[in-house]
């Protein structure tokens, strides 16, 4: 076929799916987060004493790490879905949750040094924490990938990695409402492991984002 | 057309200006042809495949054009799409080669060869359903308008455009999953 003829067919198709990446990704993610949240509420439930001051503060601090991971992760994934768009800043901002976590770790070590580090690291729920966060992240992850397939990432593996981190941010934000641990060391290890696992799974699933 | 004019043409195209879109795609085809020729020469691929590659890039540009942010210049977007597809095409055929961003940013426009030799587009069109194939064939090779194709197939013009839209998306997926 002549390329000029091929162009005629392309030009005859006027339907532009404007905004479809953002719309499908965000709506899908919202739906997935609601389902994951309800499942969480029905099974794990909220942490006891969540309305008391101490518990509320501890939970809010955890969400100060997990919510930015979700937010900046989604922003970066959407940015990466547009070819040629500068995404350096978006990827840089993805370090925000890591910076907050390091700050919390610094404060934790500053206050407690190495005393009881084993108890602080493992708490009582280390055996289930990462797995539960991953379980809560699966549906948001699927929704993100489904939405991002409308995009055109130049680096599907990186996009998948970022989507995995973002999904872990959503799952961890939900889980934080249940998590009975208060140590930053615990959070760095087990929330971190879950985020890393989702990131790696995302990178492996990145081929789904090829176009 | 200079690359600085691409922005306006693409904005017009997104607003429904078919003529502007045709001019832009023809210009883009020229730029991609020069780049692909250079890349294929380096990868030891036949010159004959260049036009098929150009058509696949144009189709990708078309089905992914909603990912261009009109606040940003069009050329970097288009060249990023072209570069991605060039790498993808070489990888599908099992050839690893380096594709520089400069391959596309510096490429001089090259005139078209008469026709694609291998005819990937026609071959993949065979795999569309008969109606979709008739619509794409009518609007490309026969050069008919959506209205004319509609009259021929006893469909409304709108229905023809819906079929065309789906067919092009399906064609893009067929390119991707094929080993051509």
- Reported as a single tens digit per residue, the pLDDT across A97-137 is 999 999 999 999 999 999 899 999 999 999 999 999 999 99
Same domain, B11 and B45: yes
If one counts the domains in chain B, the total is 2
Q: Per the domain annotation, does A151 fall within a domain? A: yes
Cα–Cα distance between A43 and A40 in angstroms, integer?
5
Helices of type H across A15-125: 20-43, 53-80, 88-93, 96-112, 117-122
Please write the tens of the pLDDT for every residue from A44-80: 999 988 989 999 999 999 999 999 999 999 999 999 9
For B14, the domain range is 3-105
Same domain, B145 and B72: no
If one counts the domains in chain A, the total is 1
Q: Per the domain annotation, does B162 fall within a domain? A: yes
Please indicate whether, in this complex, the C-beta atoms of A13 and B62 are within 8 angstroms of each other.
yes
| Residue A58 structure tokens | 């501890």
Same domain, B24 and B95: yes
Q: Per the domain annotation, does B84 fall within a domain? A: yes
**CB-CB contact of A144 with A36 (8 Å):** no
| Residue A21 structure tokens | 């990446």
Same domain, B100 and B130: no
**CB-CB contact of A29 with A147 (8 Å):** yes
Same domain, B84 and B172: no
Q: Per the domain annotation, does A15 fall within a domain? A: no
**pLDDT(B135) > 80:** yes
Can you tell me the ipTM of this complex?
0.91
Please write the tens of the pLDDT for every residue from B84-120: 999 888 888 776 667 777 788 777 777 776 567 668 8
- What pLDDT sits at residue A117? 92
Hey, of A2, A10, A77, A89, which one would you mutate to test binding to chain B, going by the most B CBs within 10 A of its CB? Answer: A10
Output the pTM of the full model. Answer: 0.92
Angle between helices B18-43 and B50-63 (to 10 degrees): 130
Same domain, B10 and B99: yes
For the domain that residue B149 is a member of, what is the CATH number? 1.10.10.10
CB neighbours of residue A89 within 10 Å: 11
Of the three residues B105, B135, B154, the one that is the final residue of a domain is B105
Of the three residues B70, B105, B140, the one that is the final residue of a domain is B105
Please indicate whether, in this complex, the C-beta atoms of A11 and B22 are within 8 angstroms of each other.
yes
For A132, the domain range is 20-209
Same domain, B101 and B19: yes
**Closest by alpha carbon to A27, among A182, A159, A148, A165?**
A148
| Residue B33 structure tokens | 């042809």
Q: Per the domain annotation, does A158 fall within a domain? A: yes
Please indicate whether, in this complex, the C-beta atoms of A8 and B161 are within 8 angstroms of each other.
no
Give the residue on B whose Cα is nearest the Cα of A19. B66
**pLDDT(A201) > 70:** yes
- To which residue do tokens 């934080």 refer? A176
Please write the tens of the pLDDT for every residue from B31-48: 999 898 888 888 887 777
């Amino acid at each position: 076929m002549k390329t000029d003829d091929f162009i005629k067919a392309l030009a005859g198709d006027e339907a532009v799916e404007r905004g479809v990446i953002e719309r499908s990704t965000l709506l899908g993610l919202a739906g997935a987060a609601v389902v994951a949240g309800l499942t969480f509420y029905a099974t794990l439930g909220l942490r006891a004493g969540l309305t008391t001051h101490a518990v509320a503060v501890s939970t809010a601090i955890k969400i100060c790490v997990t919510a930015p991971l979700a937010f900046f992760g989604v922003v970066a994934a959407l940015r990466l879905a547009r070819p040629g768009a500068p995404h350096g800043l978006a990827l840089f901002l993805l370090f925000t949750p890591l910076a907050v976590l390091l700050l919390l770790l610094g404060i934790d070590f500053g206050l407690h040094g190495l005393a009881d580090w084993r108890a602080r690291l493992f708490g009582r729920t280390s055996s289930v924490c990462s797995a539960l966060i991953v379980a809560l992240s699966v549906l948001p992850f699927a929704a993100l990938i489904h939405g991002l397939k409308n995009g055109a990432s130049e680096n599907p593996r990186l996009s998948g990695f970022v989507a995995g981190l973002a999904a872990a941010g959503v799952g961890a934000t939900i889980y934080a409402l249940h998590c009975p641990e208060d140590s930053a060391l615990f959070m760095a290890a087990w929330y971190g492991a879950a985020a890393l696992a989702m990131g790696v799974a995302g990178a492996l699933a990145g081929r789904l984002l090829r176009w | 057309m200079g690359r600085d004019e691409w922005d306006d043409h693409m904005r017009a195209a997104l607003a429904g200006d078919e003529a502007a879109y045709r001019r832009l795609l023809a210009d883009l085809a020229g730029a991609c042809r020069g780049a692909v020729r250079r890349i294929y020469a380096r990868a030891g691929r036949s010159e004959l495949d260049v036009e098929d590659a150009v058509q696949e890039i144009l189709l990708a540009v078309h089905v992914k054009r909603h990912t261009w942010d009109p606040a940003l210049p069009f050329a970097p977007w288009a060249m990023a799409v072209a570069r991605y597809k060039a790498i993808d095409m070489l990888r599908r055929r099992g050839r690893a080669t380096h594709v520089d961003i400069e391959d596309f940013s510096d490429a001089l426009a090259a005139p078209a060869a008469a026709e694609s030799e291998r005819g990937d587009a026609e071959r993949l069109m065979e795999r569309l359903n008969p109606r979709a194939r008739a619509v794409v064939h009518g609007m490309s090779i026969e050069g008919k308008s959506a209205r004319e194709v509609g009259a021929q197939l006893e469909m409304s013009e709108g229905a023809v455009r819906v079929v065309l839209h789906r067919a092009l998306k399906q064609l893009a997926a067929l390119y991707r999953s094929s080993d051509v």
